[in-house]
Structure 1
Protein backbone atom coordinates (compact mmCIF):
# COMPACT_ATOMS: atom_id res chain seq x y z
CA UNK A 1 0.00 0.00 0.00
CA UNK A 2 1.37 3.39 -1.00
CA UNK A 3 0.12 6.66 0.39
CA UNK A 4 1.14 10.30 0.58
CA UNK A 5 1.20 11.68 4.08
CA UNK A 6 0.18 15.27 4.73
CA UNK A 7 0.54 17.06 8.09
CA UNK A 8 2.99 15.93 10.78
CA UNK A 9 0.12 14.81 13.01
CA UNK A 10 -1.48 12.89 10.16
CA UNK A 11 1.92 11.34 9.50
CA UNK A 12 1.99 10.15 13.10
CA UNK A 13 -1.53 8.71 12.88
CA UNK A 14 -0.66 6.78 9.74
CA UNK A 15 2.57 5.54 11.32
CA UNK A 16 0.76 4.35 14.47
CA UNK A 17 -1.90 2.58 12.38
CA UNK A 18 0.73 0.93 10.18
CA UNK A 19 2.85 -0.23 13.12
CA UNK A 20 -0.01 -1.20 15.42
CA UNK A 21 0.97 1.33 18.10
CA UNK A 22 -2.37 1.62 19.88
CA UNK A 23 -1.14 3.85 22.70
CA UNK A 24 0.24 6.47 20.31
CA UNK A 25 -2.85 6.28 18.15
CA UNK A 26 -5.10 6.90 21.15
CA UNK A 27 -2.91 9.79 22.32
CA UNK A 28 -3.08 11.45 18.92
CA UNK A 29 -6.82 10.96 18.46
CA UNK A 30 -7.67 12.05 22.01
CA UNK A 31 -5.66 15.23 21.58
CA UNK A 32 -8.43 16.63 19.41
CA UNK A 33 -5.84 18.02 17.01
CA UNK A 34 -6.21 15.35 14.35
CA UNK A 35 -9.31 13.74 12.89
CA UNK A 36 -9.86 9.97 12.82
CA UNK A 37 -10.61 10.39 9.11
CA UNK A 38 -7.44 12.29 8.20
CA UNK A 39 -6.53 11.35 4.64
CA UNK A 40 -3.62 11.60 2.29
CA UNK A 41 -3.84 12.96 -1.25
CA UNK A 42 -4.85 9.50 -2.53
CA UNK A 43 -7.74 9.39 -0.08
CA UNK A 44 -6.07 6.74 2.07
CA UNK A 45 -7.36 6.77 5.65
CA UNK A 46 -5.75 5.52 8.83
CA UNK A 47 -8.49 2.88 9.07
CA UNK A 48 -7.45 1.54 5.67
CA UNK A 49 -3.84 1.39 6.84
CA UNK A 50 -4.74 -0.42 10.07
CA UNK A 51 -7.00 -2.80 8.17
CA UNK A 52 -4.32 -3.57 5.58
CA UNK A 53 -1.77 -4.17 8.33
CA UNK A 54 -4.14 -6.33 10.34
CA UNK A 55 -4.12 -4.37 13.59
CA UNK A 56 -7.53 -5.13 15.06
CA UNK A 57 -7.29 -2.87 18.12
CA UNK A 58 -6.07 0.09 16.08
CA UNK A 59 -8.86 -0.41 13.58
CA UNK A 60 -11.41 -0.61 16.39
CA UNK A 61 -10.07 2.55 18.03
CA UNK A 62 -10.33 4.46 14.77
CA UNK A 63 -13.89 3.24 14.28
CA UNK A 64 -14.85 4.22 17.83
CA UNK A 65 -13.33 7.64 17.19
CA UNK A 66 -15.65 8.08 14.22
CA UNK A 67 -13.68 6.83 11.21
CA UNK A 68 -15.80 6.35 8.09
CA UNK A 69 -16.07 2.58 7.58
CA UNK A 70 -16.98 2.71 3.90
CA UNK A 71 -14.86 5.61 2.70
CA UNK A 72 -13.28 4.91 -0.71
CA UNK A 73 -9.81 6.08 -1.62
CA UNK A 74 -8.95 7.33 -5.10
CA UNK A 75 -8.77 3.77 -6.50
CA UNK A 76 -12.14 2.85 -5.02
CA UNK A 77 -10.68 0.61 -2.33
CA UNK A 78 -12.16 0.56 1.17
CA UNK A 79 -10.91 -0.66 4.53
CA UNK A 80 -12.84 -3.90 3.93
CA UNK A 81 -11.10 -4.36 0.58
CA UNK A 82 -7.66 -4.02 2.17
CA UNK A 83 -8.43 -6.30 5.11
CA UNK A 84 -9.79 -8.90 2.68
CA UNK A 85 -6.79 -8.60 0.37
CA UNK A 86 -4.42 -9.33 3.24
CA UNK A 87 -6.53 -12.11 4.79
CA UNK A 88 -7.23 -10.41 8.12
CA UNK A 89 -10.47 -12.19 8.97
CA UNK A 90 -10.74 -10.70 12.47
CA UNK A 91 -10.57 -7.19 11.04
CA UNK A 92 -13.07 -8.10 8.33
CA UNK A 93 -15.52 -9.27 11.01
CA UNK A 94 -14.92 -6.09 12.99
CA UNK A 95 -15.69 -3.93 9.98
CA UNK A 96 -18.92 -5.82 9.39
CA UNK A 97 -19.94 -5.26 13.01
CA UNK A 98 -19.88 -1.54 12.33
CA UNK A 99 -21.64 -1.54 8.97
CA UNK A 100 -19.05 -2.28 6.28
CA UNK A 101 -20.56 -2.88 2.85
CA UNK A 102 -19.45 -5.53 0.35
CA UNK A 103 -20.83 -3.58 -2.61
CA UNK A 104 -18.09 -1.00 -3.15
CA UNK A 105 -15.90 -1.53 -6.21
CA UNK A 106 -12.45 -0.41 -7.25
CA UNK A 107 -11.90 1.26 -10.61
CA UNK A 108 -11.25 -2.12 -12.23
CA UNK A 109 -14.42 -3.57 -10.72
CA UNK A 110 -12.71 -5.33 -7.84
CA UNK A 111 -14.55 -6.07 -4.62
CA UNK A 112 -13.58 -7.49 -1.25
CA UNK A 113 -14.71 -10.92 -2.47
CA UNK A 114 -12.80 -10.85 -5.76
CA UNK A 115 -9.56 -9.87 -4.03
CA UNK A 116 -9.97 -12.37 -1.16
CA UNK A 117 -10.62 -15.10 -3.73
CA UNK A 118 -7.64 -14.07 -5.83
CA UNK A 119 -5.32 -14.31 -2.84
CA UNK A 120 -6.83 -17.54 -1.51
CA UNK A 121 -8.05 -16.32 1.86
CA UNK A 122 -10.67 -18.98 2.59
CA UNK A 123 -11.79 -17.71 6.01
CA UNK A 124 -12.27 -14.21 4.65
CA UNK A 125 -14.19 -15.55 1.65
CA UNK A 126 -16.50 -17.44 4.01
CA UNK A 127 -17.02 -14.35 6.18
CA UNK A 128 -17.73 -12.15 3.17
CA UNK A 129 -20.27 -14.59 1.74
CA UNK A 130 -22.02 -14.86 5.13
CA UNK A 131 -22.30 -11.07 5.18
CA UNK A 132 -23.89 -10.64 1.79
CA UNK A 133 -21.01 -10.60 -0.67
CA UNK A 134 -22.14 -11.46 -4.20
CA UNK A 135 -20.53 -14.67 -5.47
CA UNK A 136 -21.20 -13.39 -9.01
CA UNK A 137 -19.11 -10.20 -8.64
CA UNK A 138 -17.10 -9.42 -11.77
CA UNK A 139 -14.11 -7.29 -12.62
CA UNK A 140 -14.50 -4.96 -15.58
CA UNK A 141 -13.15 -7.71 -17.86
CA UNK A 142 -15.74 -10.18 -16.58
CA UNK A 143 -13.47 -12.17 -14.27
CA UNK A 144 -15.39 -13.65 -11.32
CA UNK A 145 -14.15 -14.70 -7.87
CA UNK A 146 -14.19 -18.30 -9.15
CA UNK A 147 -12.11 -17.38 -12.19
CA UNK A 148 -9.55 -15.50 -10.10
CA UNK A 149 -9.19 -18.32 -7.57
CA UNK A 150 -8.86 -20.86 -10.41
CA UNK A 151 -6.14 -18.75 -11.99
CA UNK A 152 -4.16 -18.82 -8.76
CA UNK A 153 -4.87 -22.46 -7.90
CA UNK A 154 -6.85 -21.96 -4.67
CA UNK A 155 -8.78 -25.23 -4.50
CA UNK A 156 -10.43 -24.75 -1.11
CA UNK A 157 -11.70 -21.32 -2.09
CA UNK A 158 -13.03 -22.74 -5.36
CA UNK A 159 -14.98 -25.41 -3.50
CA UNK A 160 -16.49 -22.76 -1.22
CA UNK A 161 -17.46 -20.51 -4.11
CA UNK A 162 -19.05 -23.38 -6.03
CA UNK A 163 -20.98 -24.44 -2.93
CA UNK A 164 -22.21 -20.85 -2.67
CA UNK A 165 -23.62 -20.85 -6.20
CA UNK A 166 -20.74 -19.71 -8.39
CA UNK A 167 -21.30 -20.58 -12.06
CA UNK A 168 -18.59 -23.02 -13.09
CA UNK A 169 -18.77 -22.07 -16.79
CA UNK A 170 -18.99 -18.29 -16.37
CA UNK A 171 -16.38 -16.76 -18.65
CA UNK A 172 -14.58 -13.45 -19.00
CA UNK A 173 -15.46 -11.13 -21.85
CA UNK A 174 -12.84 -12.82 -24.03
CA UNK A 175 -14.57 -16.17 -23.53
CA UNK A 176 -11.99 -17.55 -21.11
CA UNK A 177 -13.59 -19.78 -18.47
CA UNK A 178 -12.10 -20.92 -15.16
CA UNK A 179 -11.26 -24.38 -16.55
CA UNK A 180 -9.26 -22.94 -19.45
CA UNK A 181 -7.32 -20.65 -17.12
CA UNK A 182 -6.61 -23.40 -14.60
CA UNK A 183 -5.40 -25.65 -17.42
CA UNK A 184 -3.08 -22.96 -18.76
CA UNK A 185 -1.60 -22.42 -15.31
CA UNK A 186 -1.08 -26.14 -14.72
CA UNK A 187 -3.40 -26.43 -11.71
CA UNK A 188 -4.43 -30.07 -12.11
CA UNK A 189 -6.33 -30.32 -8.82
CA UNK A 190 -8.37 -27.24 -9.73
CA UNK A 191 -9.07 -28.75 -13.14
CA UNK A 192 -10.29 -31.95 -11.47
CA UNK A 193 -12.63 -30.08 -9.12
CA UNK A 194 -14.05 -27.91 -11.90
CA UNK A 195 -14.68 -30.91 -14.17
CA UNK A 196 -16.39 -32.82 -11.37
CA UNK A 197 -18.61 -29.80 -10.76
CA UNK A 198 -19.73 -29.65 -14.39
CA UNK A 199 -17.18 -27.52 -16.22
CA UNK A 200 -17.52 -27.77 -20.00
CA UNK A 201 -14.44 -29.77 -21.04
CA UNK A 202 -14.58 -28.43 -24.59
CA UNK A 203 -15.43 -24.78 -23.88
CA UNK A 204 -13.34 -22.56 -26.11
CA UNK A 205 -12.51 -18.91 -25.84
CA UNK A 206 -12.56 -16.35 -28.64
CA UNK A 207 -9.34 -17.63 -30.20
CA UNK A 208 -10.87 -21.10 -30.54
CA UNK A 209 -8.54 -22.85 -28.11
CA UNK A 210 -9.78 -25.23 -25.41
CA UNK A 211 -8.37 -26.22 -22.03
CA UNK A 212 -6.84 -29.36 -23.56
CA UNK A 213 -5.25 -27.39 -26.39
CA UNK A 214 -3.65 -24.92 -24.00
CA UNK A 215 -2.49 -27.59 -21.56
CA UNK A 216 -1.01 -29.55 -24.46
CA UNK A 217 0.92 -26.54 -25.70
CA UNK A 218 2.20 -25.82 -22.21
CA UNK A 219 3.10 -29.45 -21.53
CA UNK A 220 0.98 -29.66 -18.36
CA UNK A 221 0.67 -33.44 -18.40
CA UNK A 222 -1.04 -33.80 -15.04
CA UNK A 223 -3.74 -31.43 -16.29
CA UNK A 224 -4.06 -33.36 -19.54
CA UNK A 225 -4.53 -36.60 -17.60
CA UNK A 226 -7.42 -35.03 -15.69
CA UNK A 227 -9.01 -33.66 -18.85
CA UNK A 228 -8.71 -36.97 -20.70
CA UNK A 229 -10.82 -38.65 -18.00
CA UNK A 230 -13.72 -36.58 -19.35
CA UNK A 231 -13.14 -37.40 -23.04
CA UNK A 232 -12.50 -33.94 -24.48
CA UNK A 233 -12.29 -33.41 -28.22
CA UNK A 234 -8.95 -34.36 -29.76
CA UNK A 235 -10.10 -33.39 -33.25
CA UNK A 236 -10.06 -30.10 -35.14
CA UNK A 237 -11.05 -27.13 -32.99
CA UNK A 238 -12.50 -23.76 -33.96
CA UNK A 239 -8.97 -22.39 -34.17
CA UNK A 240 -8.32 -24.78 -37.05
CA UNK A 241 -5.89 -26.96 -35.16
CA UNK A 242 -5.82 -29.93 -32.79
CA UNK A 243 -4.45 -30.49 -29.32
CA UNK A 244 -1.86 -32.78 -30.91
CA UNK A 245 -0.62 -29.91 -33.06
CA UNK A 246 -0.30 -27.85 -29.88
CA UNK A 247 1.59 -30.61 -28.11
CA UNK A 248 4.03 -30.98 -30.97
CA UNK A 249 4.62 -27.23 -31.09
CA UNK A 250 5.19 -27.30 -27.32
CA UNK A 251 7.87 -29.92 -27.83
CA UNK A 252 6.97 -32.20 -24.91
CA UNK A 253 7.27 -35.85 -25.94
CA UNK A 254 5.26 -37.14 -22.98
CA UNK A 255 2.41 -34.79 -23.89
CA UNK A 256 2.40 -36.10 -27.45
CA UNK A 257 2.31 -39.68 -26.17
CA UNK A 258 -0.58 -38.93 -23.81
CA UNK A 259 -2.67 -37.58 -26.66
CA UNK A 260 -1.80 -40.42 -29.03
CA UNK A 261 -2.88 -42.93 -26.40
CA UNK A 262 -6.15 -40.99 -26.21
CA UNK A 263 -6.63 -41.64 -29.95
CA UNK A 264 -5.48 -38.26 -31.21
CA UNK A 265 -5.02 -38.69 -34.95
CA UNK A 266 -1.57 -37.64 -36.27
CA UNK A 267 -2.90 -37.66 -39.86
CA UNK A 268 -5.33 -34.78 -39.34
CA UNK A 269 -4.04 -31.53 -40.91
CA UNK A 270 -4.61 -28.09 -39.42
CA UNK A 271 -6.15 -25.13 -41.25
CA UNK A 272 -2.82 -24.55 -42.99
CA UNK A 273 -2.84 -28.17 -44.21
CA UNK A 274 0.02 -29.04 -41.86
CA UNK A 275 0.25 -32.36 -40.07
CA UNK A 276 1.53 -32.38 -36.49
CA UNK A 277 4.75 -33.92 -37.82
CA UNK A 278 5.27 -30.86 -40.01
CA UNK A 279 5.61 -28.69 -36.92
CA UNK A 280 8.67 -30.28 -35.33
CA UNK A 281 12.24 -31.26 -36.08
CA UNK A 282 12.51 -33.53 -33.05
CA UNK A 283 13.42 -37.06 -34.12
CA UNK A 284 11.88 -38.49 -30.95
CA UNK A 285 8.54 -36.82 -31.58
CA UNK A 286 8.60 -37.62 -35.29
CA UNK A 287 9.14 -41.27 -34.50
CA UNK A 288 6.04 -41.57 -32.32
CA UNK A 289 3.95 -39.57 -34.79
CA UNK A 290 4.67 -41.84 -37.76
CA UNK A 291 1.47 -43.84 -38.39
CA UNK A 292 3.35 -46.98 -39.47
CA UNK A 293 5.41 -47.02 -36.29
CA UNK A 294 2.28 -46.43 -34.24
CA UNK A 295 0.71 -49.51 -35.81
CA UNK A 296 3.83 -51.56 -35.13
CA UNK A 297 3.88 -50.45 -31.52
CA UNK A 298 0.27 -51.44 -31.08
Structure 2
Protein backbone atom coordinates (compact mmCIF):
# COMPACT_ATOMS: atom_id res chain seq x y z
CA UNK A 1 0.00 0.00 0.00
CA UNK A 2 1.46 3.35 -1.04
CA UNK A 3 0.57 6.13 1.40
CA UNK A 4 1.00 9.80 0.68
CA UNK A 5 2.71 12.00 3.22
CA UNK A 6 0.36 13.47 5.82
CA UNK A 7 -0.40 17.16 5.68
CA UNK A 8 -0.27 19.32 8.77
CA UNK A 9 -4.07 19.27 8.92
CA UNK A 10 -4.07 15.47 8.64
CA UNK A 11 -1.76 15.28 11.64
CA UNK A 12 -4.11 17.52 13.64
CA UNK A 13 -7.04 15.36 12.56
CA UNK A 14 -5.29 12.20 13.77
CA UNK A 15 -4.33 13.83 17.06
CA UNK A 16 -7.93 14.86 17.70
CA UNK A 17 -9.05 11.27 17.07
CA UNK A 18 -6.32 9.93 19.34
CA UNK A 19 -7.23 12.30 22.17
CA UNK A 20 -10.99 11.88 21.84
CA UNK A 21 -11.54 15.55 20.96
CA UNK A 22 -14.84 15.30 19.10
CA UNK A 23 -15.29 19.07 18.73
CA UNK A 24 -11.90 19.41 17.07
CA UNK A 25 -12.73 16.51 14.74
CA UNK A 26 -15.84 18.33 13.59
CA UNK A 27 -13.98 21.61 13.14
CA UNK A 28 -11.35 19.98 10.96
CA UNK A 29 -13.91 18.09 8.90
CA UNK A 30 -15.86 21.32 8.37
CA UNK A 31 -12.81 22.96 6.79
CA UNK A 32 -12.94 20.49 3.92
CA UNK A 33 -9.14 20.16 4.13
CA UNK A 34 -9.05 16.60 5.48
CA UNK A 35 -10.32 13.31 4.16
CA UNK A 36 -12.44 11.34 6.62
CA UNK A 37 -10.23 8.26 6.10
CA UNK A 38 -6.85 10.00 5.87
CA UNK A 39 -4.02 7.61 6.72
CA UNK A 40 -0.71 7.94 8.50
CA UNK A 41 2.43 6.06 7.48
CA UNK A 42 1.08 2.82 9.02
CA UNK A 43 -2.26 3.12 7.29
CA UNK A 44 -4.03 4.15 10.48
CA UNK A 45 -7.20 6.19 10.04
CA UNK A 46 -8.88 8.50 12.57
CA UNK A 47 -11.61 5.89 13.03
CA UNK A 48 -9.03 3.24 13.92
CA UNK A 49 -7.36 5.60 16.39
CA UNK A 50 -10.62 6.51 18.11
CA UNK A 51 -11.71 2.88 18.28
CA UNK A 52 -8.37 1.77 19.73
CA UNK A 53 -8.49 4.44 22.41
CA UNK A 54 -12.11 3.79 23.38
CA UNK A 55 -13.46 7.17 22.29
CA UNK A 56 -17.08 6.19 21.63
CA UNK A 57 -18.39 9.65 20.68
CA UNK A 58 -15.59 10.18 18.19
CA UNK A 59 -16.29 6.81 16.61
CA UNK A 60 -19.98 7.67 16.38
CA UNK A 61 -19.21 11.06 14.79
CA UNK A 62 -16.72 9.66 12.29
CA UNK A 63 -19.10 6.90 11.21
CA UNK A 64 -21.94 9.43 10.87
CA UNK A 65 -19.73 11.52 8.59
CA UNK A 66 -18.88 8.56 6.38
CA UNK A 67 -15.76 6.94 7.80
CA UNK A 68 -15.18 3.49 6.31
CA UNK A 69 -15.14 0.75 8.98
CA UNK A 70 -13.41 -1.57 6.50
CA UNK A 71 -10.19 0.47 6.45
CA UNK A 72 -7.21 -1.41 7.83
CA UNK A 73 -3.66 -0.59 8.84
CA UNK A 74 -0.78 -2.06 6.84
CA UNK A 75 -0.85 -4.97 9.30
CA UNK A 76 -4.43 -5.74 8.29
CA UNK A 77 -5.87 -4.67 11.64
CA UNK A 78 -9.17 -2.79 11.56
CA UNK A 79 -11.09 -0.50 13.89
CA UNK A 80 -13.15 -3.48 15.03
CA UNK A 81 -9.96 -5.43 15.78
CA UNK A 82 -8.76 -2.68 18.12
CA UNK A 83 -12.16 -2.19 19.72
CA UNK A 84 -12.28 -5.93 20.47
CA UNK A 85 -8.74 -5.88 21.80
CA UNK A 86 -9.56 -3.02 24.12
CA UNK A 87 -12.84 -4.52 25.29
CA UNK A 88 -14.87 -1.57 24.03
CA UNK A 89 -18.28 -3.19 23.59
CA UNK A 90 -20.21 -0.06 22.59
CA UNK A 91 -17.67 0.78 19.91
CA UNK A 92 -17.68 -2.79 18.61
CA UNK A 93 -21.45 -2.59 18.28
CA UNK A 94 -21.28 0.75 16.45
CA UNK A 95 -18.76 -0.64 13.99
CA UNK A 96 -20.70 -3.84 13.40
CA UNK A 97 -23.91 -1.88 12.88
CA UNK A 98 -22.03 0.16 10.27
CA UNK A 99 -20.94 -2.91 8.34
CA UNK A 100 -17.54 -3.77 9.77
CA UNK A 101 -16.40 -7.23 8.65
CA UNK A 102 -16.70 -9.39 11.74
CA UNK A 103 -13.98 -11.90 10.82
CA UNK A 104 -11.56 -9.60 8.97
CA UNK A 105 -8.11 -11.05 9.77
CA UNK A 106 -4.83 -9.30 10.41
CA UNK A 107 -1.77 -10.36 8.42
CA UNK A 108 -1.01 -13.10 10.95
CA UNK A 109 -4.61 -14.34 10.89
CA UNK A 110 -5.90 -12.74 14.09
CA UNK A 111 -9.57 -11.77 14.01
CA UNK A 112 -11.49 -9.45 16.35
CA UNK A 113 -12.79 -12.54 18.16
CA UNK A 114 -9.27 -13.88 18.60
CA UNK A 115 -7.96 -10.74 20.30
CA UNK A 116 -11.08 -10.38 22.45
CA UNK A 117 -10.49 -13.95 23.65
CA UNK A 118 -6.79 -13.30 24.17
CA UNK A 119 -7.56 -10.33 26.41
CA UNK A 120 -10.47 -11.96 28.22
CA UNK A 121 -13.15 -9.49 27.19
CA UNK A 122 -16.18 -11.73 27.69
CA UNK A 123 -18.91 -9.17 26.79
CA UNK A 124 -17.20 -8.48 23.46
CA UNK A 125 -16.69 -12.21 22.88
CA UNK A 126 -20.39 -12.83 23.53
CA UNK A 127 -21.40 -10.03 21.15
CA UNK A 128 -19.14 -11.25 18.37
CA UNK A 129 -20.39 -14.80 18.76
CA UNK A 130 -23.99 -13.62 18.78
CA UNK A 131 -23.38 -11.81 15.52
CA UNK A 132 -21.88 -14.83 13.82
CA UNK A 133 -18.12 -14.64 14.33
CA UNK A 134 -16.31 -17.82 13.35
CA UNK A 135 -15.30 -19.48 16.63
CA UNK A 136 -12.98 -21.86 14.76
CA UNK A 137 -10.98 -19.26 12.86
CA UNK A 138 -7.26 -19.52 13.48
CA UNK A 139 -3.95 -17.72 13.25
CA UNK A 140 -1.30 -18.68 10.73
CA UNK A 141 0.18 -20.98 13.37
CA UNK A 142 -3.29 -22.61 13.69
CA UNK A 143 -3.91 -21.24 17.19
CA UNK A 144 -7.67 -20.88 17.66
CA UNK A 145 -9.62 -18.46 19.85
CA UNK A 146 -10.15 -21.33 22.31
CA UNK A 147 -6.42 -22.05 22.40
CA UNK A 148 -5.51 -18.44 23.17
CA UNK A 149 -8.26 -18.13 25.79
CA UNK A 150 -7.02 -21.33 27.47
CA UNK A 151 -3.42 -20.12 27.35
CA UNK A 152 -4.38 -16.92 29.14
CA UNK A 153 -6.60 -18.60 31.74
CA UNK A 154 -9.91 -17.06 30.67
CA UNK A 155 -12.31 -19.73 31.91
CA UNK A 156 -15.63 -18.04 31.07
CA UNK A 157 -14.41 -17.11 27.60
CA UNK A 158 -13.49 -20.76 27.06
CA UNK A 159 -16.95 -21.80 28.21
CA UNK A 160 -18.61 -19.35 25.80
CA UNK A 161 -16.53 -20.61 22.89
CA UNK A 162 -17.22 -24.27 23.63
CA UNK A 163 -20.93 -23.53 23.97
CA UNK A 164 -20.81 -21.83 20.55
CA UNK A 165 -19.25 -24.86 18.89
CA UNK A 166 -15.51 -24.29 19.17
CA UNK A 167 -13.53 -27.46 18.46
CA UNK A 168 -12.23 -28.43 21.89
CA UNK A 169 -9.18 -30.28 20.55
CA UNK A 170 -8.25 -27.88 17.71
CA UNK A 171 -4.45 -27.97 17.77
CA UNK A 172 -1.85 -25.37 17.00
CA UNK A 173 0.67 -26.18 14.23
CA UNK A 174 2.95 -27.78 16.84
CA UNK A 175 0.04 -30.07 17.84
CA UNK A 176 -0.51 -28.36 21.19
CA UNK A 177 -4.20 -28.40 22.16
CA UNK A 178 -6.16 -26.02 24.40
CA UNK A 179 -6.02 -28.56 27.25
CA UNK A 180 -2.28 -29.03 26.77
CA UNK A 181 -1.57 -25.30 27.00
CA UNK A 182 -3.92 -24.88 29.97
CA UNK A 183 -2.09 -27.69 31.75
CA UNK A 184 1.32 -26.23 30.99
CA UNK A 185 0.25 -22.80 32.23
CA UNK A 186 -1.38 -24.14 35.38
CA UNK A 187 -4.92 -22.98 34.66
CA UNK A 188 -6.89 -25.45 36.78
CA UNK A 189 -10.37 -24.06 36.12
CA UNK A 190 -9.82 -23.89 32.38
CA UNK A 191 -8.56 -27.48 32.39
CA UNK A 192 -11.67 -28.54 34.31
CA UNK A 193 -13.93 -26.84 31.74
CA UNK A 194 -12.13 -28.42 28.81
CA UNK A 195 -12.14 -31.87 30.37
CA UNK A 196 -15.87 -31.62 31.04
CA UNK A 197 -16.31 -30.70 27.37
CA UNK A 198 -14.55 -33.90 26.30
CA UNK A 199 -11.00 -32.67 25.67
CA UNK A 200 -8.57 -35.42 24.69
CA UNK A 201 -6.13 -36.47 27.41
CA UNK A 202 -3.44 -38.02 25.26
CA UNK A 203 -1.02 -36.18 23.02
CA UNK A 204 1.75 -37.15 20.63
CA UNK A 205 4.70 -36.51 22.92
CA UNK A 206 4.32 -34.79 26.26
CA UNK A 207 0.72 -35.08 27.42
CA UNK A 208 -1.21 -32.46 29.39
CA UNK A 209 -0.57 -34.57 32.51
CA UNK A 210 3.18 -34.67 31.86
CA UNK A 211 3.33 -30.90 31.29
CA UNK A 212 1.34 -30.16 34.45
CA UNK A 213 3.44 -32.61 36.49
CA UNK A 214 6.84 -31.38 35.38
CA UNK A 215 5.77 -27.74 35.83
CA UNK A 216 4.47 -28.47 39.33
CA UNK A 217 0.83 -27.57 38.71
CA UNK A 218 -0.65 -29.94 41.28
CA UNK A 219 -4.20 -28.58 41.02
CA UNK A 220 -4.23 -29.35 37.30
CA UNK A 221 -2.82 -32.82 37.96
CA UNK A 222 -5.74 -33.43 40.33
CA UNK A 223 -8.23 -32.48 37.60
CA UNK A 224 -6.54 -34.66 34.99
CA UNK A 225 -6.32 -37.70 37.26
CA UNK A 226 -10.13 -37.73 37.52
CA UNK A 227 -10.22 -38.77 33.84
CA UNK A 228 -7.77 -41.69 34.12
CA UNK A 229 -4.92 -40.42 31.93
CA UNK A 230 -2.02 -42.57 30.78
CA UNK A 231 0.42 -43.00 33.67
CA UNK A 232 2.81 -45.23 31.74
CA UNK A 233 5.60 -44.36 29.34
CA UNK A 234 4.66 -41.68 26.85
CA UNK A 235 5.92 -41.11 23.30
CA UNK A 236 8.52 -38.73 24.75
CA UNK A 237 10.09 -41.65 26.62
CA UNK A 238 9.04 -40.52 30.08
CA UNK A 239 6.10 -40.98 32.41
CA UNK A 240 4.33 -38.15 34.19
CA UNK A 241 5.94 -39.35 37.44
CA UNK A 242 9.38 -39.18 35.83
CA UNK A 243 8.66 -35.62 34.75
CA UNK A 244 7.64 -34.55 38.24
CA UNK A 245 10.53 -36.40 39.88
CA UNK A 246 13.25 -35.03 37.58
CA UNK A 247 12.09 -31.47 38.14
CA UNK A 248 11.65 -31.86 41.89
CA UNK A 249 7.90 -31.19 41.88
CA UNK A 250 7.16 -32.86 45.20
CA UNK A 251 3.42 -32.08 45.33
CA UNK A 252 2.95 -33.72 41.94
CA UNK A 253 5.21 -36.65 42.85
CA UNK A 254 2.98 -37.32 45.86
CA UNK A 255 -0.14 -37.28 43.67
CA UNK A 256 1.31 -39.58 41.04
CA UNK A 257 3.56 -42.01 42.88
CA UNK A 258 0.85 -44.16 44.50
CA UNK A 259 -0.98 -44.43 41.18
CA UNK A 260 2.08 -45.21 39.07
CA UNK A 261 4.38 -48.20 38.62
CA UNK A 262 7.49 -47.20 40.57
CA UNK A 263 9.65 -49.76 38.76
CA UNK A 264 8.83 -48.26 35.35
CA UNK A 265 11.98 -47.20 33.49
CA UNK A 266 12.19 -44.26 31.11
CA UNK A 267 13.97 -44.18 27.75
CA UNK A 268 17.28 -43.77 29.60
CA UNK A 269 16.61 -46.90 31.64
CA UNK A 270 15.95 -45.02 34.88
CA UNK A 271 13.14 -45.36 37.38
CA UNK A 272 11.57 -42.17 38.70
CA UNK A 273 13.67 -42.52 41.86
CA UNK A 274 16.87 -42.91 39.84
CA UNK A 275 15.93 -39.98 37.59
CA UNK A 276 15.37 -37.81 40.66
CA UNK A 277 18.72 -38.91 42.09
CA UNK A 278 20.48 -38.07 38.82
CA UNK A 279 18.87 -34.61 38.92
CA UNK A 280 19.85 -34.21 42.61
CA UNK A 281 16.28 -33.81 43.78
CA UNK A 282 17.04 -35.15 47.23
CA UNK A 283 13.61 -34.60 48.81
CA UNK A 284 11.96 -36.55 45.98
CA UNK A 285 14.52 -39.36 46.33
CA UNK A 286 13.84 -39.60 50.06
CA UNK A 287 10.08 -39.67 49.55
CA UNK A 288 10.18 -42.33 46.83
CA UNK A 289 12.53 -44.51 48.89
CA UNK A 290 10.13 -44.32 51.85
CA UNK A 291 7.21 -45.17 49.57
CA UNK A 292 9.01 -48.12 48.01
CA UNK A 293 9.82 -49.42 51.48
CA UNK A 294 6.23 -48.96 52.61
CA UNK A 295 4.82 -50.76 49.59
CA UNK A 296 7.30 -53.58 49.92
CA UNK A 297 6.02 -54.29 53.43
CA UNK A 298 2.27 -54.13 52.77
Scaled by the length of structure 1, the TM-score of the pair is 0.94
Unaligned runs of 5+ in 1: none
Could you tell me whether the CA contact under 8 Å between 1:5 and 1:11 is conserved in 2? Answer: no
SS of structure 2 residue aligned to 1:266: coil
Contact 2:70/2:101 (<8 A) preserved: yes
1:272 aligns with 2:268: yes
Inter-partner Cα distance in structure 2 for 1:292 and 1:193? 35
Shift, 1:296, TM fit:
5.8
Report the aligned-residue RMSD.
Answer: 1.5
Matched residue, 1:58: 58
Deviation, structure 1 residue 288: 2.2
Which range moved further: 278-287 or 265-274? 278-287
What are the superposed Cα offsets for residues 238-269 of structure 1, whole Å, 9 maximum, x if unpaired? 111100110012212111111013x1122111
C-alpha displacement of 1:297? 7.9
Q: Please give the alpha-carbon distance, in whole angstroms, between the structure 2 residues aligned to 1:239 and 1:87.
A: 40
Once residues 270 and 246 of structure 1 are traced to their aligned partners in structure 2, the CA distance between those partners, rounded to angstroms, is 10
Q: Which is worse superposed, 130-139 or 181-190?
A: 130-139
1:17, distance to aligned residue in structure 2 (A) = 1.1
Identify the residue that residue 283 of structure 1 maps to in structure 2.
282
Name the counterpart of 1:210. 207
SS of structure 1 residue aligned to 2:10: helix
Q: Does 1:225 align with 2:222?
A: yes
Alpha-carbon distance between aligned partners in 1 of 2:111 and 2:53, rounded to the nearest angstrom: 18
Contact 1:244–1:256, Cα closer than 8 Å, also in 2: yes
Q: 1:297 to 1:12 in 2, by over 3 A?
A: farther
SS in 2 for 1:137: coil
The runs of 5 or more residues in structure 2 that have no matched partner are none
Q: What do the CA deviations read for 1:194-224 (whole angstroms, capped 9, x no partner)?
A: 001101122x14xx00000000110000111
Shift of 1:5: 8.4
Within the candidate set 212, 233, 237, 2:234 is matched to 237
Distance, in Å, in 2 between the alignment partners of 1:294 and 1:115 is 52
Structure 1 residues 105-114 or 263-272, which shifts more?
Answer: 263-272
* Residue 70 in structure 1 maps to residue 70 in structure 2: yes
Partner of 2:176: 176
Take 1:10 and 1:274, find their aligned partners in 2: how far apart are those partners? Answer: 69
Provide the residue aligned with 2:114 in structure 1: 114
Correspondence for 2:152: 152
Task: State whether residues 17 and 50 of structure 1, in contact with CA within 8 Å, keep that contact through their aligned partners in structure 2.
Answer: yes
SS in 2 for 1:44: coil
For residues 63-102 of structure 1, give each alpha carbon's deviation from its aligned partner in whole angstroms, at most 9, with x where no partner exists.
1222111112100000000100100000000001110111
Return closer, same or farther for 1:76/1:297 CA change in 2, 3 Å cut-off.
farther
TM-score, length-normalised on structure 2?
Answer: 0.94
SS at structure 1 position matched to 2:173 = coil
